[in-house]
Amino acid sequence: MIKLALIQIKVHKDKNINLKRAEMGIKEAAKNGAEIICLPEMFNCPYDNNYFVKFAETYPNGDTIKMLAKAASENNVFIIGGSIPERYQDKLYNTCFIFNQKGEMSGRYRKIHLFDVDLKGMRFYESDTLSPGSDITIVDTGKIKLGIAICYDMRFPELMSLYAKKGVQMMVIPAAFNTITGPAHWEVLLRARAIDNQVFVAAISPARDETASYVAYGDSMVVGPWGNIITKAGIDEEIIYADIDLSIEEEIRKRIPLLKNRRM
Ligand SMILES: NC(=O)CC(=O)C(=O)O
């Protein structure tokens, strides 16, 4: 059994408040026995292109990055650091930093598929400020092999199946769906990705804030490899926990051997 915690927090316009809230959440989750702790997409920064530019940080000296490293070592936990705007050379990325129990960075994933959409009532182009990443990121905690994707990435099944083919046992997906796409697609996509790859899927959203320019959906959840919802948050701030039992995944893969039966 591996104890997982998803921290669904509200994102404020003040970065320091976001860091404090995340730090407190990590501490509480660790106290409750969580070994792997996950934060939401853009947890330190409003989901807004202007803020991405203003709040961007560079590894290793950014305030958020230092907080995550310290929180991981102080609480002896593995942290999947949601995502933050990262400045690297002359570009910005939507990046997830991952830290092990020693506070060492054990992975960095840059969102590959940028959210460029024009919905009725909402236009959002991440590519106005961000550049896409190009590499998948697999992290072995010693107990479980994790694959990282960010939000819009979950709509691209070939990315998830690439991870499954490489032996990933759980996808961790910091995300910020919204009140238009969330009710329509969030749960369906997460359950579908879990079923078609026979993996656990953990998706972590910010809490809903109706006053924000982009209203995140909430509903963070952990789905099992059978497509069953193991645990699910509401729309407000909350920490949810799941016990991950890899023998269930092994059993499902044995009974319906998709990886073996695959022909393309
Ligand atoms: N914000 C995203 O990257 C994706 C999203 O909201 C959606 O796909 O819907």
Stretch (H or E) spanning 255: helix 246-255
Ligand 1: nearest atom to the Cα of 113:
3
What are 198's two structure tokens?
A: 């026979």
Residue spans of beta strands (DSSP E) within the chain = 2-8, 36-38, 78-80, 84-88, 91-99, 105-110, 116-119, 122-125, 137-140, 145-148, 170-174, 200-204, 221-223, 229-232, 238-244
Task: Provide the pLDDT for residue 121.
Answer: 81
Q: Which atom of ligand 1 is nearest to the CA of 115?
A: 3
Distances (CA, A) of 82 to 14, 87, 126, 187: 17, 16, 17, 19
pLDDT at 260: 92
Range of the domain at 74: 2-261
| pLDDT in the model for residue 120 | 86
Please give the distance, rounded to the nearest whole angstrom, from the Cα atom of residue 133 to the centre of ligand 1.
Answer: 16
Ligand 1 centroid to Cα of residue 131, in Å, is 16
Query: What residues contact residue 261 under an 8 Å CB cut-off, 6+ apart?
Result: none
Contact 34, 3 (CB under 8 A): yes
Q: What is the CATH number of the domain that holds 134?
A: 3.60.110.10
> For ligand 1, is residue 205 a contact (CB within 6 Å)?
no
Is residue 47 within 6 Å of ligand 1 at its C-beta? no
Average pLDDT over all residues of the chain: 97
Q: Please give the share of the chain, as a percent, with pLDDT higher than 70.
A: 100
Per-residue pLDDT tens over the stretch 54-71: 999 999 999 999 999 999
Active site residues: 41, 111, 151
Q: How many CB atoms lie within 10 A of CB 188?
A: 9
Q: Atom 4 of ligand 1 has which residue's CA nearest to it?
A: 152
The answer to whether ipTM exceeds 0.90 is: yes
Nearest-angstrom CA–CA distance, 63 and 58: 9
Residue nearest to atom 2 of ligand 1 (CA): 152
pLDDT tens digits, one per residue of 9-21:
999 999 999 999 9
CA separation, residue 12 to residues 116, 176, 199, 209, 244 (Å)? 23, 14, 33, 9, 31
Identify the residue whose C-alpha is closest to ligand 1 atom 8: 152
Chain centroid offset of residue 46 CA: 16
Structural domain count of the chain: 1
Mean pLDDT for 118-127 is 93
Residue nearest to atom 5 of ligand 1 (CA): 177
pLDDT tier at 264 (50, 70, 90 boundaries)?
A: confident
